[in-house]
Amino acid sequence: MPDQSERRADLAAMLHPLFQALLAAERRILARHEISMWGYSVLSALDGQPARSQAALAQSIGADKTRIIGTLDELQDAGYIIREPDPADRRVHLLSVTDAGQRKCRAAQADIRAAEEALLAELTPAQRRTFLDVLTTFADLPLDDILRA
Amino acid sequence: MPDQSERRADLAAMLHPLFQALLAAERRILARHEISMWGYSVLSALDGQPARSQAALAQSIGADKTRIIGTLDELQDAGYIIREPDPADRRVHLLSVTDAGQRKCRAAQADIRAAEEALLAELTPAQRRTFLDVLTTFADLPLDDILRA
DNA sequence: GCCTATCATATGCGCCTGCTTATGAATTGT
DNA sequence: ACAATTCATAAGCAGGCGCATATGATAGGC
C-alpha cells in the first residue's frame, strides 16, 4: 500500500509545528479573554453536558485531578462554574457551568474558531473535509493500542 | 464555505490525543533503540544534510541551543556525530552524522514508520494521501501569521 | 583599534507537569 | 463492624522547558 519510495517526515515531526502554532494562537486568544487554558478546557468540557464530579471531569480533559483544584476555585470565584454536593454521594462535588461561564467559553471559542478557519481556508474544500474526517476518525480509535502493535 | 451548523471540537483539542499518542509511541521505540528523543531529532536533522553549526541545527529542530549541548556530547561520545571546527569561523563547530549514527537513526525511524503505518492503515487510501498532503501543505505555511490574522 | 555581535558552553530561575503521599470524610465490600 | 476504597484537597519531588545571564574566544563593522 504505502509507496516505499515515499519520503516523508515522521508524523509527530509533521504535526509538531501545526500543534504548537495552534496552541500559541489559543494562548493569545484566551489571554485576551482573560481565561486560562485549563479554565477554558473545563468550561468547554462542561458546556452542554450534565453535571459531573471533579474526578470525572479531570479525567475527561486529561488534567491532573489534584492540580485542577486551583483552576476550579478560580472559575467558581469568577462565577463561571457551580460546585454542588452530589445527593447520591457526599464525597462528591458536581460541577456545572453557569450562564456567565457558558458565554465566556463560547466567546473565546468563537475567536479560536475564526483563527482555525483562516488556517483551514488554505486548503481545498475536499482537503478540509477529509482532514477533519481523519481527525474525527482518529479520535474514536484506540491510538495507543494501534501504535503499540 | 464552512457550514455554520458544523459541530466540531477545536483543532488543538482534536490534534492533542493524536499528537500525544504519537509521542508516546516514539518514546517507547526510541527507548528500545537506546537513544533519546532529542538525540534522534538531531540525527534525523543531520541525516543526508551538509554539515551545520550547532546553533543552526538547534534552531532547525526547535531545540534550545544551550540545552542541546549535553545531547550533542552524548551523541559524540557514542560515535554517532562528529564535531569539526569550521575553517571559515573558528567559533563554530560543524556537525555531521557518522555512518553508525545514520544506521542508528534509520533503524529507529523504520520502527517509527511501521507504527505510523499501522495507524494510517485505519484510513482509506484517499484519506491517507490527503491527510499527508495537508500536513505537508501546512508545513510550508507561516502558521503563526495565518492564525494571528 | 575598538566596540558590538556571535559561537559554544554552563548554569540559574520560574513555570508546568506527572506522579506520589497524606488527610479527613464518606462510601463500599465482606 | 471493620477494612478497603474513593473523593476532594494540599503539597512534595523530579524532570523538562523557555528564557536569561555570563564567560572566553572569535568575527564583523565602523
How distant is C1' of C25 from CA of A56, in Å? 19
DSSP B124: -
Give the model confidence (pLDDT) of A105-143 as tens digits: 999 999 999 999 999 999 999 999 999 999 999 999 999
How distant is C1' of D6 from CA of A133, in Å? 39
- Of the candidates A17, A7, A9, the one whose C-alpha atom is nearest the C-alpha of residue B45 is A9
Q: Which nucleotide is nearest to B65 (CA to C1')?
A: C8
> Is A23 an interface residue toward B (CB < 8 Å)?
yes
Long-range contacts of A73-78 (CB under 8 A, 24+ apart): A74/A36, A74/A39, A75/A39, A75/A42, A75/A43, A75/A101
Mean pLDDT (chain B) is 93
Dihedral sign of CA atoms B137, B139, B141, B143 in order:
positive
A residues 81..120 contacting B (CB < 8 A): 109, 112-113, 115-120
Residue B84's DSSP bridge partners are: B94
> Is B130 an interface residue toward A (CB < 8 Å)?
yes
Orientation of helix B125-139 relative to helix A125-139, angle to 10° = 110
Q: Domain spans of chain A?
A: 22-112
Cell numbers representing residue A64 in the block = 491532573
Spatial separation of the C-alpha atoms in residues B138 and A70, rounded to whole Å: 36
pLDDT range class, residue A75, cuts 50, 70, 90: very high
- Of the candidates A61, A30, A143, A103, the one whose C-alpha atom is nearest the C-alpha of residue B116 is A143
Contact criterion met (CB below 8 Å) for B143 and A119: yes
Given a cut of 60, whether residue A3 has pLDDT beyond it is: no
Which range has the top average pLDDT, A145-149, B4-8, B40-44?
B40-44
Cβ contact B22–A11 (<8 Å): yes
Spatial separation of the C-alpha atoms in residues A44 and B114, rounded to whole Å: 35
Fold (CATH) for A22-112: Arc Repressor Mutant, subunit A (1.10.10)
Choose which CATH entry (1.25.40.10, 3.40.50.300, 1.10.10.10, 1.10.3720.10) describes domain B27-113. Answer: 1.10.10.10
Given a cut of 90, whether residue B50 has pLDDT beyond it is: no
Cell numbers representing residue A66 in the block = 489534584
Given a cut of 70, whether residue A2 has pLDDT beyond it is: no
Spatial separation of the C-alpha atoms in residues B105 and B97, rounded to whole Å: 10
Region class of A62: left (phi > 0), else alpha (psi between -120 and 50), else beta:
left
pLDDT value of residue B7: 77
Residues of chain A positioned with their CB less than 8 A from the CB of B44: 10, 13
Residue A94's DSSP bridge partners are: A53, A84
Given a cut of 90, whether residue A6 has pLDDT beyond it is: no
Dihedral sign of CA atoms A24, A29, A32, A35 in order:
negative
State the amino acid at position A83 in one-letter form. Answer: R
How far, in Å, are A47, A48, B120 from residue A104 at the CA level? 11, 14, 37
Given a cut of 70, whether residue A30 has pLDDT beyond it is: yes
Spatial separation of the C-alpha atoms in residues A135 and B95, rounded to whole Å: 38
Cβ contact A118–B147 (<8 Å): yes
List chain D nucleotides near protein: any atom < 7 Å from a Cβ: 6-12, 17-22, 24-28
Cell numbers representing residue B103 in the block = 544506521
Give the model confidence (pLDDT) of B69-115 as tens digits: 999 999 999 999 999 999 999 999 999 999 999 999 999 999 999 99
pLDDT value of residue B101: 97
Contact criterion met (CB below 8 Å) for B110 and B121: no
Given a cut of 70, whether residue A26 has pLDDT beyond it is: yes
Rg (CA), chain A: 19
State the amino acid at position A130 in one-letter form. Answer: T
> Is A145 an interface residue toward B (CB < 8 Å)?
no
User: What kind and span of H or E run contains A46?
Assistant: helix A37-46
Residue B93's DSSP bridge partners are: B85
Orientation of helix B37-46 relative to helix B11-32, angle to 10° = 90
Q: Average the pLDDT over A31-35 and give the result.
A: 95
Per-residue 3-state assignment (H helix, E strand, C coil) for B2-13: CCCCCCCCCHHH
Q: Which residues of B32-51 are buried (b: 16+ CB within 10 A; e: fewer)?
A: ebebbebbbbbbbbbeeeeb
Q: What is the ipTM of this complex?
A: 0.90
